[in-house]
Amino acid sequence: MPDSQAAAPGHIRVRANGDFFDVPVGTSLEAFLKMRGQAIGRVVVERNGEALSPMEQRGVVLESNDVLEIVRLVAGG
């Protein structure tokens, strides 16, 4: 279901794990993860239904209405 509010000027709206976030235009996925306390290589990211490798994650600049699923990797057994 789309969010009814528009992003603030100079920002875009993305959805990550079901929550909406307004981020500045030009924000990289890497910067977004850092803002959320995560890091490339420590999470699996799916963007708009497509899983991204850690190398692919580094080159992504978020776009308006991107839908992200972010799963933290946990070691152990």
Confidence of residue 76 (pLDDT cuts 50, 70, 90): low
3-state secondary structure of 11: strand
pLDDT tens per residue across span 33-60 = 999 999 999 999 999 999 999 999 999 9
pLDDT of residue 70: 98
Specify the CATH number of the domain 11-72: 3.10.20.30
- Are the CB atoms for 2 and 36 separated by under 8 Å? no
**Structure pTM?**
0.86
31: part of which helix (H) or strand (E)?
Answer: helix 29-35
- For the chain, the domains span 11-72
